[in-house]
A and B are shown apart, each in its own frame.
Chain A
Amino acid sequence: MTVQLVTSFIASAAFSLLFNVPRKILAQCGFVGMLGWALYITLTDEGIDSVIATLAASFFVTLISQIFARMFKTPIIVFSVSGIIPLVPGGLAYDAMRLFVEGDYSLALQSAARALLISGTIAMGLIFSEVTNVFFKRPPLKRTPSGKPH
């Protein structure tokens, strides 16, 4: 577990470096990625299906990202991207591709369908989290004559 926590932290932080995230919030990005991944592997270790685990993790990641976005006055995408990356079903997509190349189409389709399902689940997690975001949204733009939104 320690290995998983450390590697997911480094992987997420290094990934946000690839996206040129400012230096002072690199560690926070790593932290978001680590929490999301920790939830994911805890759930899968408990025997919960990886689709459900992905849903929970991506929801969690977006939730933390929203809190961090407010705390550090930074666009939410900076945090959510680094958190989502570990959840992307790269392994399944790879399996599907390799099986296709080897001519095992029925097994390949199974993996591809599952990869697609998990990608969709990540999206669902983002959406659910967005709904909760409505509760503490930024004040709407006021169209007053002076034009200055508060």
Chain B
Amino acid sequence: MQRTEEQTAREERENDRIVEICLLAGKLMLQNGAETYRVEDTMTRMAAAFGAADAQSYVTPTGIWFSRGEDDPAKMARIYARSTDLRKVTLVNAISRQAAEGGLSLSEVQERLKEVEASKVAYPPWLQYLAAALSSGCFLMMFQGVWADFLPAMVAGGAGYAAAVTVHRFVPLKFFSEVLAAFLIGLIAMLFVRTGYGQQIDKIIIGSVMPLVPGLLITNAVRDLMAGHLVSGLSKGAEALLTAFAIGTGIAMVFSFF
């Protein structure tokens, strides 16, 4: 059967769309804190579900390259900002699962991914600050603190996390906002102890900085390294180290100034 030009053009458009959708899925997962190997796996599985069995993907923390096959040109998506929204990762994962089982058409997948992209974070800011405060207090108790310090740790932890989020909105420099947040935590803890409302400054600070600790990055870095994604693993490890360093700097500033 001879192919008409129209058919070829339509096929090409369809292929472009598959690449576009896979890139969108990958981008959503990577931006919201999924591991590199999972992003690659999801993209190739999705492409396979739509008939591109030889899809190739290359993912780093700052960009994604994706191609339908070895002979096809690759498209790329640049990732500028990364945050942690595991709900979106879970949603995209569920969509790709459904698509791989053949339960969704191409346009349905596109529609759902766009929905996920447009959706807001699951929890309002005040609830997040409250959660940060609560976990700070609980971490204090886990690290053998005393109940008298529970409230100071909650205040310092909540304020520190809120500061990190707020400052980051105005100054898009992660290191800076983390230093400032840690500084604030140290300052509040010191104030509580100096005025007699807190007892162990060390325990209060340790509990309060926990919400800033780069736990997700560390886990991801290890998993990526193990899966052979050396570039991603190392750069995520570096990011984690930088955050730890920022926290240390902020607290150290408090101790050397006051």
Contacts and interface: CB of A to CB of B under 8 A. Distances in A.
Interface of A: 3-4, 7-8, 10-12, 14-23, 37, 73-75, 77-78, 80-81, 84-86, 88, 90-91, 93-95, 97-98, 100-102, 119, 122-123, 126-127, 130, 141, 143-149
Main secondary structure, interface of A, reads helix
Contacts of A127: 222, 226
Contacts of A141: 44-45, 48
Contacts of A97: 248, 251-252
B142 A148 contact: no
A137 B122 CA distance: 31
Interface of B: 33-35, 38, 44-45, 48-54, 84-90, 93-94, 97, 100, 102, 121-123, 127-128, 131-132, 134-135, 137-139, 141-143, 161, 202, 205-206, 209-211, 213, 215-216, 218-220, 222-223, 226, 244, 248, 251-252, 255-256
Given A11-B139, A77-B34, A18 B252 contact: no
Contacts of A37: 142
A98 B142 CA distance: 21
Given A18-B161, A20-B86, A7 B206 contact: no
A84 B220 CA distance: 11
B213 A85 contact: yes
